Amino acid sequence: MSKTSLIIQREYITRIRKKSFIIMSILGPFIFAAYVLIPMYFATLEDKEEKKVVVIDESKLFTEYTPDGSQFVIPETEYLKFQVIEGVELETFRVGFNETGYYAVLFIPSNILASESALLYSTKQVSIDVSNYIKSNLETEIEDLKLATHDISDIDRILAEVETTLNVRSIKWTKDGQTQETNTGVVMGVGYLGGLLIFFFIFFFGSQVMRGVIEEKTSRIIEVIVSSVRPFQLMMGKIIGVGLTGLTQFIIWIVFSFLLITGLQAAFFPELGRTPTEQVVDSDMFGGGGIPGGQLGAGSAGALNEQTGTGPVDGISPEDEGLATADMDMAQEIFASLKSINAGVMIGSFFVFFIFGYLLYAAMFAVIGSAVDNETDTQQLILPVILPLILAIYVMIGAINNPDGALPFWFSMIPFTSPVVMMVRIPFGVPYWQVGLSAALLVMTFIGMTWVAGKVYRTGILMYGKKNSYREIWKWLRYSS
Amino acid sequence: MNLISADSVVKDFTGHRALNHVSMDVPLGSIYGLLGPNGAGKTTLLRIINQITAPDEGTIYFNGRPITGEDRMEIGYLPEERGLYKKMKVGEQALYLAQLKGLSRAEAMQRLKVWFEKFDISEWWGKKVEELSKGMAQKVQFITTVLHHPRLLIFDEPFSGFDPINVNLLKQEILQMKKDGATIIFSTHNMSSVEELCDHITLINRSETLLQGEISGIREKYKSNLYRVTFLGDGEKLSREIDPRFELLKVEENGMGRQATIRIRQEEGSNELIRHLADKVEIKAFHEVIPNMNDIFIQVVNQASDKQ
């Protein structure tokens, strides 16, 4: 076995066997699944809680009088109930409201048509969904009332005819003249996830390389090893060994996460009636950006849809407003969308940028490790290396809204940020020449960086007690022999 | 024939020159001592021989031709700063290091078993290095150095940190290896081990070679016509009455009785001294003082610094 292979093998096996690896392998998917499922759970949880809203309708416009008592015109949902109360002052509710068991008090002033405002009182913060629901339904009622005053005959029939629910679907034209359904949310989510994963991977495993180098320095075994192999072989062996560990970890996670989410969803959320993938993708779509409102919107949109059968135009946070209507349409769109993202290019480029991005940064981490005597000294040296990655994350967030903009374009070309930024752009469709050019640049930079790193590493591993600074590292670079 | 030679090696680090045209020839099958004060350049030279660092000028020859990367397989190196992967198990680590030196896994296993038994550390096979005491770790490291039966062994300060028992063990091993045909270079401050083991030495200080050659030759060279007489009689009287031809350096009383150290000038023979002394005292023992390496070391180094 060649020496480099021996080193790779040792680096890989020592790390795979560590307790921390096994724990992370198991924990990782749980954390990921939790990230996906817990918001889902909370979204549905919120809605299951019954909310009773007291209605004080001074205007008397929205109350129907039936033999059973006064009824509020706005229909109740499974979780939202209205109770019309008459002859009670608003003020009386203010004291000891919590004990009443009511969620809120809806106060409709007598001059509502003129003032165009109603009030929701509560001791808690009224949820957006509830207030939007009330708002939109009241608006409809008031519009009806206003229409009625214009005395148009047949107004109901006309309104029914006029009512429209529009479905705007995105369709992408592909090279071969086909059409493909797309759903922006899904695309965003996938790209975002890809970029984040690469960032995490590079950072986490890059620093493992660094720590390995430092360990060899402090335990002094470096001298023995280097009398048997060339420093460059040791460096590459370590980088590749750690990289393989990361890849293994990553694959374990993907498999576990998928199984876990499928399993848990079937166990706890079967009533949501969707296939696991749809659930995942759905939550991912809204939750990918970590936007809390979005996640809430997803769950409640689903719940409200099923209960009221109304369109989800209201009652959802702004991000979701432009999207599909009924559940089935949404599911179909998502799947179509996923297919539209050219899976081959996607996965292929993911791995290329993933791997070479890691290799590029791992070489830099190896250099830092060789320049210090202990881990605390690394802090000041790490910052310049990490900066491009952090920058890339910020650009990535911007790229989501404007994937072909100038900033995302350039950052997806520059080798230090391209692994992250290009990943975000790809789901939106990037011309092959751009992907190819970016990848080529990345590979070339990686080769150059490794060459440089090898030189610095070779000197650094035997140096102790030197000031750790980039100036020192530059000196070593010129010790070429 | 020299197994390994350094030819006019120069090594500079920022601000100072560590080796200034240092040459060294190590004959095949010899035990070679590399001596010098701290900071002299010994470790640098050894690292260059091991191809850990490269010289700025000069060449290393192995077996008559310039040394190559492949020759690493024939060399075993025990550095001054000892170290092993702390978290790795002993046996596994020994196997790894042996394989890096070119041994097959099976071969390495076999030989390790033998060595571990020899050193009586078989029970430590499955322990992590950090669980071992320092002495044991050193034993393990020694084994990994010699396991692949290298033709050339290089030890940098091998005796430092070993207790007397292990020092002895090490000395025995070195002698055995010489018998088995290996060539050994070691650097040390331990002069008595130099006298016990070495055939040749090089003494360097401040990047320069001060002294080089076979030990017996060097000791001969540094003879200064000193003789020691163990006697019965009056030491005071002797010092007063001794002939000016002979320089009485000191008289001391020790476990052997009274001893006088006398220097004679080149022209006089030792027999003359014996005859002269026989009149004055009762001679119990008489022998030439051949300088030990410790004294030579100090003398040579001090001379050189005085010059500078």
| For testing contact with chain A, the best of B46, B96, B104, B143 (most A CBs within 10 A) | B96
**Which is higher by pLDDT, A383 or A307?**
A383
Tell me whether A2 touches chain B (CB under 8 Å).
Answer: no
**Looking at residue A186, what is its pLDDT?**
66
Q: Are strands B152-156 and B75-78 parallel, antiparallel or unpaired?
A: parallel
Average pLDDT of the residues of chain A: 75
**CB distance A319 to A297 below 8 Å:** yes
What is the pLDDT averaged over residues A170-178?
A: 63
Q: How many CB atoms lie within 10 A of CB A389?
A: 20
CA B38 – CA B205 distance, rounded (Å): 8
**Start-to-end C-alpha separation, chain B:** 35
Spatial distance between the Cα atoms of B303 and A351, rounded to a whole number of angstroms: 67
Per-residue pLDDT band for B181 (boundaries 50, 70, 90) equals: very high
Q: What is the pLDDT of residue A77?
A: 80
For residue B104, give the chain A residue with the closest CA: A1
Residue of A6, A223, A226 with shortest CB distance to B99: A6
Residue labelled with tokens 């020790």: B254
* Span of A302-306, A328-332, A369-373 with lowest mean pLDDT: A302-306
Is residue B205 predicted with pLDDT exceeding 50? yes
| Tokens standing for residue A108 | 């409709």
CB neighbour burial string for A232-270, b if at least 16 within 10 angstroms, e if fewer: bbbbbbbbbbbbbbbbebbebbeebbbebbbebbeeebe
CA distance A286 to A290: 8
CB distance from B56 to chain A under 8 Å?
yes
List the beta bridge partners of residue B214.
B200
Residue type, B182: A
Q: pLDDT confidence of B198, banded at 50, 70, 90?
A: very high
Contacts of B170 (CB under 8 A, 6+ apart): B142, B158, B159, B162
CA atoms within 13 A on the CB side of A113: 12
- Nearest 5°: phi and psi at B16? -150, 160
> With 80 as the cut, is the pLDDT of residue A34 above it?
no
What number is the average pLDDT over the span A2-23? 89
Q: Please give the Cα distance from B303 to A437 (Å, whole number).
A: 68
Check residue A185 and give its pLDDT: 65
- Asked if A222 reaches chain B (Cβ–Cβ under 8 Å), the answer is yes
Tell whether B81 lies on the interface with A, counting CB pairs under 8 A: yes
| Phi, psi (degrees; rounded to nearest 5) at B62 | -125, 120
- What are the tens digits of pLDDT across the range B54-93? 888 899 999 989 998 888 889 999 988 778 888 889 999 9
Arithmetic mean of pLDDT, A333-357: 69
- Judge whether residue A98 has pLDDT over 60: yes
* Residue A12 clears pLDDT 90, i.e. is over it: yes
Q: Contact A475/B14, CB-based, under 8 Å?
A: yes
Task: Give me the pLDDT at residue A343, please.
Answer: 62
Q: What is the pLDDT of residue B49?
A: 92
Max Cα distance, chain A (Å): 100
With a cut of 60, say whether residue A6 has pLDDT above it.
yes
Higher pLDDT, A410 or A173: A410
In the predicted structure, residue B307 carries a pLDDT above the cut 60: yes
What is the end-to-end Cα distance of chain A in Å, rounded? Answer: 28
pLDDT for A302 equals 33
In chain A, % of residues over pLDDT 90: 11
pLDDT at A285: 45
Segment 85-144 of chain B within 8 Å of chain A by CB: 85-88, 96-97, 99-101, 141, 144
Helix (H, G, I), strand (E, B) or coil at A169: coil
Tens digit of each residue's pLDDT (9 = 90 or more) over B126-175? 999 888 888 888 888 889 999 988 999 999 988 887 888 888 888 999 99
% of residues, chain A, pLDDT over 70 = 74
Chain B residues with beta carbon closer than 8 angstroms to that of A475:
14
A295 vs A177, which has greater pLDDT?
A177
Among A223, A212, A254, A262, smallest CA distance to A375 is for A212
Q: Which residues of A touch B97 (CB under 8 A)?
A: 224-225, 228
Contact at 8 Å (CB) between B77 and B181?
no
Average pLDDT over every residue of B199-228: 88
Angstrom distance (rounded) from CA B157 to CA A222: 17
Asked if the model's pLDDT at residue A42 lies above 80, the reply is no
Average pLDDT (A36-56) is 71
Using a CB-CB cut-off of 8 Å, the residues of chain A touching B78 are: 224
Sheet with B16-27: list strands edge to edge: B16-27, B2-13, B57-62, B65-66
Is the pLDDT confidence value at B270 over 80?
Answer: yes
Backbone angles phi, psi at A144, to 5 degrees: -60, -45
Closest listed residue to residue A205, CA positions, set A444, A389, A468, A337 = A389
Give the rounded distance of the alpha carbon of A360 from its chain centre: 25
Which whole number is the average pLDDT over A252-264? 75
- pLDDT value, residue B62: 93
Considering only CA atoms, give the Rg of chain B: 24
pLDDT at B61: 93
Read off the pLDDT of residues A206-235 as tens digits, 9 standing for 90 and up.
999 999 999 898 888 888 888 888 889 999
- Cβ contacts (< 8 Å) between A225 and chain B: which residues? 97, 100
| B200 vs A: CB within 8 A | no
Q: What percent of chain B has pLDDT over 70?
A: 99
* Contact of B99 with A6, CB cutoff 8 Å: yes
Q: Give the three-class secondary structure for A108.
A: strand
ipTM surpasses cut 0.90: no
- Does the CB of A481 have a partner CB in chain B at under 8 Å? yes
pLDDT tens for residues A424-449?
Answer: 887 777 788 888 899 899 999 999 99
- Residue A286 binned pLDDT confidence (cut-offs 50, 70, 90): very low
Q: Per-residue pLDDT for A317 more than 50?
A: no
Q: Between residues A61 and B185, which one has the greater pLDDT? A: B185
**B282 exposure class (CB count in 10 Å sphere: 0-12, 13-18, 19+):** exposed
Kind plus residue range of the DSSP H or E element containing A132: helix A128-149
Taking residues A228-252, report their average pLDDT.
Answer: 90
